[in-house]
Chain A
């Protein structure tokens, strides 16, 4: 399946996050047991989640949040 997926998506322009209708059809067809007509892969919007490291850090979370907020605010001034 992964081989087929690679083969079928090799011509997709990967520099864009929004796919054309033709590319969506191509991607949907590459899913296992899927086809362009019945696949719901593209109708459901995926949500990206930012993952934090699982390893410990010495930085207290609240201090980190404040430092990031302050740095962003300083840049936007």
Chain B
């Protein structure tokens, strides 16, 4: 069942590899700067939890979700497709369709190029899919515009403002990590989110 934070939570479904990290971290920052709380499967590290149960719980507790299908391609080692992102998108669409209390869910679906998704998941052809072109600034602006429109909140800063703040935050992050004796290349999701929130709080 949706919890008290349901309207504030944004579930982020995306790859967690190093190559994708710039897009992921910028998305987390944009969500936080817009006044929402980013959620993702990496925030809970309890190995006793079944991974899919954890993901289902996160999806049910988030009114907003970002699903990035841009890395749905063949794995270079196994040569098999990576299906985790489409699977989690399917769970979210099912939650919205079948759970009356989640009928107001809003999803932002990303892909790298226009119409690419139609070649591997044509059933969502009726959805409005957005492209970020693997560009951080474009992703930030798209996330901001979607949250502004779907939440109706007038307090959300403009996309260019958020991106400009993100660039300043990136300049400060090495110093913050050094001070806290954290490895910037291996930051836990919760630690990253705390540095973002504290930095944003300081900047009003």
User: A-side interface residues toward B, CB under 8 Å?
Assistant: 2, 5-6, 9, 12, 14-19, 27, 31, 41-42, 45-59, 63-72, 74-75
Contacts and interface: CB of A to CB of B under 8 A. Distances in A.
Contact of B194 (A6, A53, A66, A72): A53
B158 A71 contact: no
The dominant DSSP class at the B interface is helix
Given A2-B104, A50-B200, 16 more contacts: A9-B149, A14-B159, A41-B152, A41-B154, A48-B153, A52-B194, A57-B190, A58-B191, A64-B194, A68-B176, A71-B172, A71-B175, A71-B179, A72-B199, A72-B203, A75-B171
A66 B202 CA distance: 11
Contacts, number: 121
Contact of B36 (A2, A41, A51): A51
B156 interface: yes
A50 B168 CA distance: 17
Interface of B: 5, 8, 32-37, 43-44, 104, 106, 141, 144-145, 148-150, 152-161, 168, 171-173, 175-176, 179-180, 182, 188, 190-191, 193-195, 197-203
Given A64-B198, A66-B179, A51 B37 contact: yes
A42 B191 CA distance: 36
A54 B157 CA distance: 23
21 contacts: A2-B104, A14-B148, A15-B159, A31-B152, A45-B155, A50-B33, A50-B35, A51-B36, A51-B197, A52-B37, A52-B198, A54-B37, A55-B43, A64-B180, A66-B179, A68-B172, A68-B198, A70-B179, A71-B179, A72-B199, A72-B202
